[in-house]
């Protein structure tokens, strides 16, 4: 295991996922995106798990899981990833949790540790608030980030604070590709149509 997070890999892995995303921008539909992986990933709520165990969600969180937000594991029998998330949290928390867990899968993390969590956070941040879209909208205030990307105040602050780092790591190819896709989604026409 490496001692330091590989932010270059984590950042660009998010953009590789966005390259196959066929949903709308700027608010990435994380559930739609996860459906694209339905042959490899199953998603479960804490509510459904608690119901199966005959306990409340609060009891399930306190007694059955290590994370209040969510977790992922690979089911060797089914040969697929299983994502579990706390559906009683607010929408912005759920979106980040699911993006974070997808990051663990895409980055092929095989254990839970601080380095992998930092990489998954980087992946989630770039997936939900892509640098080319940030640049295109020229966002300045935390509230603008929250509204544009449907993210929490805390995540918006982190996105804004780490914007320089994310811009540094994204490849030009990924930047151009996602900028073009986002432009088409938002404007209804491609950059080529605009100039010709």
pLDDT digits (tens, 9 = 90+) for 25-75: 999 999 999 999 999 999 999 999 999 999 999 999 999 999 999 999 999
CA 195 to mean position of chain CA atoms: 33
pLDDT at 187: 76
Q: Can you list the alpha helix ranges (DSSP code H) found in 21-171? A: 30-35, 46-53, 57-64, 91-106, 114-128, 131-137, 142-149, 153-161, 163-169
How buried is 2 (Cβ within 10 angstroms: 0-12 exposed, 13-18 middle, 19+ buried)? exposed
Strand-strand pairing, 80-85 and 70-75: antiparallel
Q: Nearest to residue 163, comparing CAs of 140, 193, 188?
A: 140
pTM of the predicted protein model: 0.93
């Amino acid at each position: 295991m490496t001692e330091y997070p590989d932010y270059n890999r984590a950042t660009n892995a998010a953009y590789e996922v966005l390259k196959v995303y066929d949903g709308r921008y700027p608010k990435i539909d994380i559930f739609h995106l996860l459906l694209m992986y339905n042959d490899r990933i199953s998603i479960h709520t804490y509510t459904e798990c608690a119901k199966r165990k005959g306990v409340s969600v609060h009891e399930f969180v306190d007694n059955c899981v290590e994370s209040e937000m969510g977790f992922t594991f690979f089911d060797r029998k089914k040969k697929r990833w299983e994502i579990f998330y706390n559906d009683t949290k607010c929408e912005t928390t759920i979106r980040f949790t699911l993006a974070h867990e997808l990051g663990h899968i895409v980055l092929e993390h095989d254990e839970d540790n601080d380095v992998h969590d930092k990489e998954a956070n980087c992946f989630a941040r770039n997936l939900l608030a892509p640098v080319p879209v940030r640049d295109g909208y020229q966002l300045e205030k935390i509230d603008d980030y929250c509204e544009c990307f449907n993210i929490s105040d805390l995540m918006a602050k982190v996105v804004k604070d780490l914007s320089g780092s994310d811009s540094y790591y994204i490849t030009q190819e990924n930047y151009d590709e996602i900028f073009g896709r986002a432009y088409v989604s938002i404007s209804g026409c491609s950059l080529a149509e605009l100039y010709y």
